[in-house]
Structure 1
Amino acid sequence: MAYVAVVSLVGTLKQLVQLKPHWISDDTRKMVDSLLESLEYFRDFLENTSQRRREYSAKVKELEREIRSAVSEAEDVIELQIYKIKEVEKGKAREALCEALSPLVEKIDVMKRKVMGGSFVTNEDLQTGELLLPGHSSRHVAKLNPETVVVGLEDDLMRIITRLKGSMSSREVIPILGMGGIGKTTLAKMTYDDPEIRDRFDMHIWVTVSQEYHTRELLLGVLSCVSNDQIKQETDDDDDKLMDRIFKKLKGRRYLVVMDDIWSNDVWDLMSRTFPDDDNGSRIVLTSRIRGVAMHADPDSPPHEVSLLNADDSWKLLHEKVFGEQQVCPDELEDIGKQVAQRCQGLPLALLVVAGHLSKIERTPESWKDVAKSVSKVVVNESDNCLGVLAMSYNYLPNHLKPCFLYMGVFPEDSDVDIDRLINLWVSEGFLWEELVGRDCLEDLVSRNLIMVRNRRFNGEWKTCGVHDLVRDLILREAEKEKFLQVTKDPSAKMIHVRRYSFHSSIYQDDCLRSSSSDHLTRTLHFFRSLGSKQVPLLECFKLLRVLAVVQYGFEKFPLAITKLLHLRYLQLGYCDDPHCSLSELYNLQIFVVRSLGRNPPTIHKTIWRMKHLRHLQVSHSIFLPKIPSKKLQNLEGLSCLSMSSCTFELFSAIPNLKTLTLHGRQKDCQGEKMSEHLNNLSCLKRLEQLKIRCNGLYLFPIPCKYNLPASLKRLTLSYTFLPWEDMANIVKLPKLEVLKIKNYGFYGDVWRLNDGEIFNQLKFLLIRRNDLMQWKAGSVNFPMLQRLVLRTCIYLQEIPKDFGEIYTLESIELYNCRRTAANSVNEIEEEQESMGNDCLNVLIDDCSRGADHAS
């Protein structure tokens, strides 16, 4: 983790210069610049060794450890000094900081000279083959690959065969993608051995690439497939001559090539030149865990993604491997066996290992129940190589992605992790410096099949993510080995000295926290269960803490000990009362998430306007935010829940870069002119993209209003606002609106009538849930870009506008708990489209049995 240590210290130094310029003397500035120059050199060195692993010796590992140690120690000293400066006279701050930096600069310079003078590949290394290679070779763990597994791959096999037999005459590349152990090689082998496919092609070539490929071995392997002559390893031909021989052998022939287990673009660029494109229907199948490699091979050829097995196929595979195809599973074991299969989470590799274990133990309910309780542990204990298969993906990660991936270990097993929260944590930890970069990192990890997207928004945008249990086991193993993170479910467990701790059990004893804070290393504490009130004062000991998350249970009173943690960037509290005014002492804080205990709207103290780095403020109850003249929070991007009474022009002018906002209104703030005034004040938020408004749920007599919402809005949610349908004229004007959710009487009235001039030009998703709407007078002209329409508990609505079927972009209509006549109208739309040959409209109708009498 040398790379992340370097990035973190760079950020700390730059933030020091920006935040506290009055602490920086000329001598101090020279030393900071010297440190930044050395750190930039370290970063370039680490990126280079990461990208060109095959060229460097194992000695680089030791050098990386030394860099991490030196840089981490430097950051500890600097941050501890910053913490102490608050306790000394301001006049001595410059002197104290300068004295602290001087020995650090000298130590880092020594480390830099050592790196610059290093030789990373020796003759001895080349002779012994002791190269720093990225993980196990696939060949070493191939015995665990599910090569004989057919269950669940039948449909995949047919799709691949269809593509191989396609009419396209030009050479086509067919990538097969999926996580390690999911059956990519199995699918490729089944395709390769299919008799019909064998007959279709003149030449058949199988080459296993893996991470540790050697170009000469690959070329000789291909040549042995295309030549009848005996190929000898000691041939005098160089690589270019070997490539030329292969090219000539394949010229004019229809060939099938399988390139199994590809990890890099370089090997594709090299090998693909040896395969001629004679416009005769030749095909190249490649298997990889990395989407980028597949897209590089052929951007126009969609990859075939192998999915995890469903529950039925998982049980079928487990049953087949334990009992064979002929023997029947005893009745008393079947339900338990299905539980075991389900807990393998659809990964064939895990199912095979567990099946092997079940085959060796007694076939009794008690024995199988023990396995069901600890499937993941069984897999790891049965085969170290099982994690080795997955570790290949981790070891191949670029340096900047490794900490982001290992951080998934913080969350409890089977967690659906909110993606926005995850990226904010990455930023707060110092792994990266902005959220947009975090999105790129997440996309890269998903494309490598290490992180799985769990939930998506209507447009496919990712909402939550997670990891397979086996991948999580790998994370915990590597995180502890790297001293990156310790996760504990037992508060009495022995603590190791790491920078991050995640506690998945309640903490009521002092020993656990005292041992964690003893050496000032700790930067992160996650408590997913309760933290005892007697333990709260101990938090003050974690002087260098950056992330503190007390997720489920909190405190009746705001813990003042927290306000001593000057380096906090991320603070999440389960429950507490009004945040104390001294919260502003946390001048580094970027994210503040808290649930309020009080019935009355909590007040955020006016000192919050000192917190210049605050990016997200999330409070579960509505809050009153006082405005201080001339003060601004330029970095604030997310705010919830803000009381409607705080919606003044002065306030919004002071948070000009807000992107997401949730408002909560009381009855007196959500009526007529008052509502109009509050909403009009939003117009100065030129960058606002997402707005949610929720009133208190009491019936309000709808009064038409005129107001202007920010033209930048893309997503709008209204709940219990009881706006009249005539007010939709204010919404339809929004030029960028893509998502509109009308929940729980967001609009009120029995008729929604749209004229031809009222057009939602960019609206793609429309949700209407629980209101009194009876008639909807609209047409396709009003929603030209609509993709998805969802109606929930609209029990009075008679029908859906008939010509919605003419919206050519419409992909789905969903009705839940609606009137039967409305469901019938949707069925008529679907039938009409099918009669016209249009089968792209998906209709989902659930619990729509309400008749006229019932609805009324």
Structure 2
Amino acid sequence: MFCDEKKSLWECAFSDPFIVKSLDERNIPELVHGHTAETLDSLHATAEYFQQVLENASKSRFDTEKIKSLEEKIRVAVSYAEDVVEMKISQIIKVSRWTSGILQHRDLLPVVKKMDVTKKQVMEIVSHDADQLLEFSGDSLIDTPSTSNPVLSDQSGDDIVHGIDDDLKIIIKRLIGPLSDLDIVTISGMGGIGKTTLARKAYDHLTVRSRVLLTTRETEVAMYANTCSPHEKSLLSAENGWRLLCDKVFGPKYDHPPELEEIGKEIVEKCQGLPLTISVIAGHLSKVARALEGWKDVARTLSEIIASHPDKCLRVLGLSYHHLPYHLKPCFLSMSSFRVDFQVETWRLIRLWIAEGFIRSSENCKRLEEVGMDYLEDLISRNLIMVRKRRVLAIFNEDIMFKSFPLVIKKLFHLRYLQVRFHGDIPESISKLQNLQTLICGSYPYNITLPRKIWMMKNLRCIRLEGPSNLPSPRAESLVTGLPNLEEFSILCYNSCTNEVFSGIPNLKRLIIQAPFNIEEFTHRLLDMSRLTKLEAFKLYESPFLGDSIKRFGFPTSLRRLSLTRCCYFYWADITSTLIMLPNLEEFKLKRSRSLSHEWILSDKDEFKSLKLLLLSGGGLSRWEASNDNFPNLKRLVLKNCWFLQEIPADFGEICTLESIELHDCSTTADDSARKIVQEQEDMGNNILNVYIHKSRSKF
């Protein structure tokens, strides 16, 4: 193999001694005789020594420049050895008579000499700094601001990073929250994304004092410091990136020339949302004439400009590479063969690594493809690879229904998304999928009993089941953390809505519950959701007798969206008293329901302060009395199948925020009242309000 001088040792020598590997893979021992075999053994031992040195160096606090020096010396020696052996083998194979083609001992003497000289040089470097090779590297705990080496920071502290405010609020909130003395707040993200700048701004905040803040490029380190989800510093948006570039080039008080905006935003897009890269390019643009052609040149030569600023950019980003384990470096470098922004399929990338010899068989006899997936996940967790789309299992075909939960799935340890249909319940062994984030299951019968070990799956974010499911109460030991990342659960059986269950899912944001068919259980048992302080959306359906139970649901004040579907025999007065107690409620939907009373009469004190969307479907409502003061922020009114409703309250035209009234298959008189409201507003010069009337029936 002939090596490009720009390639590193890892691309040339791979992760195993390629000299011996080349011969082994061809399985032609007749080429090796006598002293030649001994010489190859010696070369093999030297190559393994090089491997061990570089592996230890990558795990230590060894100076990065010395690591680069080691790599360079070893790369040259191994590349030379590989070229000699490969060329000689190719010459022998071309000879028609194999008996006259033998790899001679003398052919390897120059190789041995070169390797021995390099080994002595490496040993001198290692012996001089042996103590550093014994110290394992780690990430810094940010407890005091440090400016001793700004080059090695993610970016200088003077940089203005737009788009950091939201991140800063989150970090400050976590730092001043009710944490224990041992809690560590972590910020993770790729190099140059602004972790250190964010940490410094948080540290300097007046309200922050009893706290430890850690920044790291490796998700695994963040999770080790604190099992709670680390704050992942996101890339700058296109808008904030453009603002940062303008501030750096033109100053915060100066406008940019309009003709440079389009090409400027193109430059920002090529910077991939990295504040550090944008700052480097902005520094270059500030020295360029503010002309269109000059900026177009910068856009074309962006990569060259970044490469010309190693102290400001490449050295910072290079830290992520130099601290990689030795077996991951060739895998990472191989991605440079793809063009910028190229989307690589996982299977193609892993097969490439296997073909190049980058993936070695593991001690636990994993398939090479499985080892390759481990390597890929490791690179992703170190924020060196940007994931465009995750799939790793979804069986969408409606005709596929497994006889039982396919147990082979439990072997897919790295699975994050699972969608499958089957007969019966979910087995306890699903808890082996510790990386699972989304679980979507359809089963027969519809009622599923989830295994108790579901509480061990700490990474679950979404559980979506086709029918109402029983969730057993967690054991005491599981309640220490419960399912801290679970944000969505549907559909949960009513009898599983206990204080113990809700305590185990404290960060739930979306919940769907099916009411029991047993009326006594529903009317005599309180549904207290006050523990779900993060709940934003709640849906209840299939309640044959809602009655006044809705008053005793104990909704949290965080609720923003409430939906009642196929809920019958309720009183409009109970709906009113419940909704006005929810200060943040923005959407209320009452679908395919029927009330006990046919009149909804609101008093002056009944105010739905935050309601923006009101949808009524069915309900048996015939008379509705309300004023604009009852719905001060309503934007959209939707009425479906309100066959008996006589008219919409005339005062609704006075709601200044109202944008549309939609009627689907409602009575003729209700349609006419909507038209009248809009016409009155148009006569007064208000053209914002629109009415939409849809008919699918000929008679009512």
**Shorter-chain TM-score category?**
0.5 to 0.7
Would the aligned equivalents of 1:57 and 1:122 in 2 still touch at CA under 8 Å?
Answer: no
- Find the counterpart in structure 2 of residue 187 from structure 1: 198
1:71 is the counterpart of 2:78 = yes
Change (3 A) 1:117 1:158: closer
Question: Whole-Å Cα distance in 1 between the matches of residues 439 and 560 of structure 2?
Answer: 17
Would the aligned equivalents of 2:189 and 2:216 in 1 still touch at CA under 8 Å?
Answer: yes
Report the CA distance between 1:441 and its aligned residue.
Answer: 3.6
- Find the counterpart in structure 2 of residue 781 from structure 1: 448
Question: Whole-Å Cα distance in 1 between the matches of residues 109 and 37 of structure 2?
Answer: 15
Structure 1, residues 608-635: CA drift from partner, whole Å, max 9, x if none?
A: xxxxxxxxxxxxxxxxxxxxxxxxxxxx
2:124 alignment partner, one of 106, 109, 118:
118
1:289 alignment partner, one of 217, 235, 238:
217
1:157 alignment partner, one of 154, 159, 168:
168
Structure 1, residues 218-248: CA drift from partner, whole Å, max 9, x if none?
A: xxxxxxxxxxxxxxxxxxxxxxxxxxxxxxx
SS in structure 1 of the partner of residue 186 of structure 2: strand
1:285-684 paired onto structure 2 within 5 Å = 285-296=213-224, 298-300=225-227, 302-329=229-256, 331-365=258-292, 367-380=294-307, 385-434=312-361, 435=368, 436-457=370-391, 461=392
Question: Whole-Å Cα distance in 1 between the matches of residues 461 and 195 of structure 2?
Answer: 34
Identity %: 36
SS in structure 2 of the partner of residue 156 of structure 1: helix
- Find the counterpart in structure 2 of residue 475 from structure 1: none
2:407 alignment partner, one of 735, 747, 750:
735
1:86 is the counterpart of 2:93 = yes
Report the CA distance between 1:96 and its aligned residue.
Answer: 0.9
Question: Whole-Å Cα distance in 2 between the matches of residues 787 and 295 of structure 1?
Answer: 16
Question: Whole-Å Cα distance in 1 between the matches of residues 244 and 223 of structure 2?
Answer: 32
Letter in 2 for 1:153: I
Would the aligned equivalents of 1:81 and 1:100 in 2 still touch at CA under 8 Å?
Answer: no
Letter in 2 for 1:86: I
Question: Whole-Å Cα distance in 2 between the matches of residues 116 and 389 of structure 1?
Answer: 26
Letter in 2 for 1:172: D
Would the aligned equivalents of 1:715 and 1:737 in 2 still touch at CA under 8 Å?
Answer: no
Structure 1, residues 331-354: CA drift from partner, whole Å, max 9, x if none?
A: 554444433333322111233334
Question: Whole-Å Cα distance in 2 between the matches of residues 842 and 99 of structure 1?
Answer: 82
Would the aligned equivalents of 2:30 and 2:102 in 1 still touch at CA under 8 Å?
Answer: no
Question: Whole-Å Cα distance in 1 between the matches of residues 64 and 268 of structure 2?
Answer: 42
Question: Whole-Å Cα distance in 2 between the matches of residues 730 and 295 of structure 1?
Answer: 36
Question: Whole-Å Cα distance in 1 between the matches of residues 34 and 124 of structure 2?
Answer: 33
1:175 is the counterpart of 2:103 = no
CA-atom RMSD in angstroms: 5.1
Unaligned 5+ segments in structure 1 are: 127-135, 202-281, 462-713, 743-751, 769-775, 791-799, 815-825, 844-848
Would the aligned equivalents of 1:176 and 1:184 in 2 still touch at CA under 8 Å?
Answer: yes
Letter in 2 for 1:422: L
Report the CA distance between 1:414 and its aligned residue.
Answer: 0.8
Letter in 1 for 2:272: Q
Would the aligned equivalents of 1:812 and 1:842 in 2 still touch at CA under 8 Å?
Answer: no
1:33 is the counterpart of 2:44 = no
1:103 is the counterpart of 2:109 = yes
Q: Which moved more, 1:409-418 or 1:320-329?
A: 320-329
SS in structure 2 of the partner of residue 417 of structure 1: coil
Change (3 A) 1:732 1:852: farther
Question: Whole-Å Cα distance in 2 between the matches of residues 28 and 842 of structure 1?
Answer: 80
SS in structure 2 of the partner of residue 195 of structure 1: coil
1:742-821 paired onto structure 2 within 5 Å = 758=424, 779-781=446-448, 803=468, 811=488
Structure 1, residues 113-169: CA drift from partner, whole Å, max 9, x if none?
A: 63587365669x99xxxxxxxxx9843466952534252111211111112212224
Would the aligned equivalents of 2:450 and 2:471 in 1 still touch at CA under 8 Å?
Answer: no
Change (3 A) 1:828 1:20: same
Question: Whole-Å Cα distance in 1 between the matches of residues 106 and 328 of structure 2?
Answer: 32
Question: Whole-Å Cα distance in 2 between the matches of residues 179 and 34 of structure 1?
Answer: 41
Structure 1, residues 264-300: CA drift from partner, whole Å, max 9, x if none?
A: xxxxxxxxxxxxxxxxxx212222333444445x243
Letter in 1 for 2:315: G
Change (3 A) 1:355 1:167: same
Question: Whole-Å Cα distance in 2 between the matches of residues 827 and 286 of structure 1?
Answer: 37
Would the aligned equivalents of 1:353 and 1:383 in 2 still touch at CA under 8 Å?
Answer: no
Report the CA distance between 1:48 and its aligned residue.
Answer: 3.6
Change (3 A) 1:842 1:157: farther
Aligned length: 451
Change (3 A) 1:364 1:104: closer
Letter in 1 for 2:177: G
Question: Whole-Å Cα distance in 2 between the matches of residues 21 and 12 of structure 1?
Answer: 14
Letter in 1 for 2:539: E
- Find the counterpart in structure 1 of residue 539 from structure 2: 832
Letter in 1 for 2:408: K
- Find the counterpart in structure 2 of residue 46 from structure 1: 54
SS in structure 2 of the partner of residue 287 of structure 1: strand
Would the aligned equivalents of 1:811 and 1:842 in 2 still touch at CA under 8 Å?
Answer: no
Question: Whole-Å Cα distance in 2 between the matches of residues 323 and 117 of structure 1?
Answer: 52
Report the CA distance between 1:36 and its aligned residue.
Answer: 2.0
Report the CA distance between 1:302 and its aligned residue.
Answer: 3.9
Question: Whole-Å Cα distance in 2 between the matches of residues 109 and 312 of structure 1?
Answer: 54
Would the aligned equivalents of 1:34 and 1:105 in 2 still touch at CA under 8 Å?
Answer: no
Report the CA distance between 1:385 and its aligned residue.
Answer: 2.2
Letter in 2 for 1:31: T
Q: Which has the larger radius of gyration?
A: 2
Q: Which moved more, 1:440-449 or 1:139-148?
A: 139-148
Change (3 A) 1:426 1:361: same
- Find the counterpart in structure 1 of residue 589 from structure 2: none
Question: Whole-Å Cα distance in 2 between the matches of residues 359 and 318 of structure 1?
Answer: 10
Structure 1, residues 395-437: CA drift from partner, whole Å, max 9, x if none?
A: 4444443333222210011111223322322232233324344
**TM-score for both structures, normalised by structure 2:** 0.52
Would the aligned equivalents of 2:155 and 2:276 in 1 still touch at CA under 8 Å?
Answer: yes
Change (3 A) 1:22 1:299: farther
SS in structure 2 of the partner of residue 286 of structure 1: strand
Question: Whole-Å Cα distance in 1 between the matches of residues 119 and 193 of structure 2?
Answer: 46
Change (3 A) 1:104 1:397: same
SS in structure 1 of the partner of residue 85 of structure 2: helix
SS in structure 1 of the partner of residue 388 of structure 2: strand
Report the CA distance between 1:779 and its aligned residue.
Answer: 1.7
Letter in 1 for 2:406: L
Would the aligned equivalents of 2:196 and 2:215 in 1 still touch at CA under 8 Å?
Answer: yes
Question: Whole-Å Cα distance in 1 between the matches of residues 284 and 321 of structure 2?
Answer: 26
Change (3 A) 1:804 1:314: farther
Structure 1, residues 90-115: CA drift from partner, whole Å, max 9, x if none?
A: 5516x612446652674367337635
Would the aligned equivalents of 2:218 and 2:382 in 1 still touch at CA under 8 Å?
Answer: yes
SS in structure 1 of the partner of residue 312 of structure 2: helix
Question: Whole-Å Cα distance in 2 between the matches of residues 159 and 740 of structure 1?
Answer: 30
Structure 1, residues 352-372: CA drift from partner, whole Å, max 9, x if none?
A: 334444445555555555545
Q: Which moved more, 1:164-173 or 1:404-413?
A: 164-173
Change (3 A) 1:454 1:715: closer
